[in-house]
Amino acid sequence: MAGNADAPRIGVLALQGDVREHERVLHGLGADVIRVRRPEELATVSGLVIPGGESTVIDKLSRQFGLQQPMRDAIAGGMPVLGTCAGLIMLADCVRDGINGQQSFGGLDVVVRRNAFGRQLESFEAELDVAVLGAPPVRATFIRGPVVESVGTSATVLASLPDGRVVAVGQGHLVGLSFHPELTGEYRFHERLLRVAAVHHSVTR
């Protein structure tokens, strides 16, 4: 993709969080990558990653930078988005245990609970079967991640822990993950984002 004028540009929302890790994955896949902090930068991309971090900070800064409504418009307009950890929270239509006044971008017909897996010291890894990716299983790292408490009729469960807790969901052009694939060498979610963004790019040109 690199150097191809017809390739889609992928943004990484760079208000806060593990931006560099996602950039590294995307560059490794040959993507044209840009950090997105302002509406004019968002307008140049055909797909976006919302990284892990602090959802409360991402929410606050998105409003300060005038990005909240453009993000909502882009999601409603069909822009492919991959949200990991805090990114899942930002994509959820409903957030539980948020701080007073916390808002999300929305788009995923799900209810998520912040910090459902406890403190950072309680981080863990698990192998997940994700049918849309096929074999082998996904090695997932959970760090103070959210959990999906309920899934509406518009969204689809992509992966669950053995105890039944839902940790990956999809809805059309959106994917939300409770975990951090960028930390374990699991690049298939990013590859999928690039494929969907390429279609979106060709349709919207």
The rounded distance, in Å, linking the Cα atoms of 150 and 109 is: 9
Determine whether 182 is an active site residue: yes
**CA 95 distance to own-chain centroid:** 15
Q: Identify whether 27 is a catalytic site residue.
A: no
Task: Name the token pair of 179.
Answer: 């975990």
Residues sharing a CB contact under 8 Å with residue 69, sequence separation 6 or more, in sequence order: none
Indicate which residue of 85, 173, 200, 201 is catalytic: 85
Radius of gyration of the chain (CA): 16
180 is catalytic: yes
Interatomic CA distance for residues 5 and 203, integer angstroms: 15
* Candidate list 180, 190, 200, 201, residue with the active-site label: 180
Q: List the catalytic residue out of 21, 41, 182, 186.
A: 182
Catalytic residues: 85, 180, 182
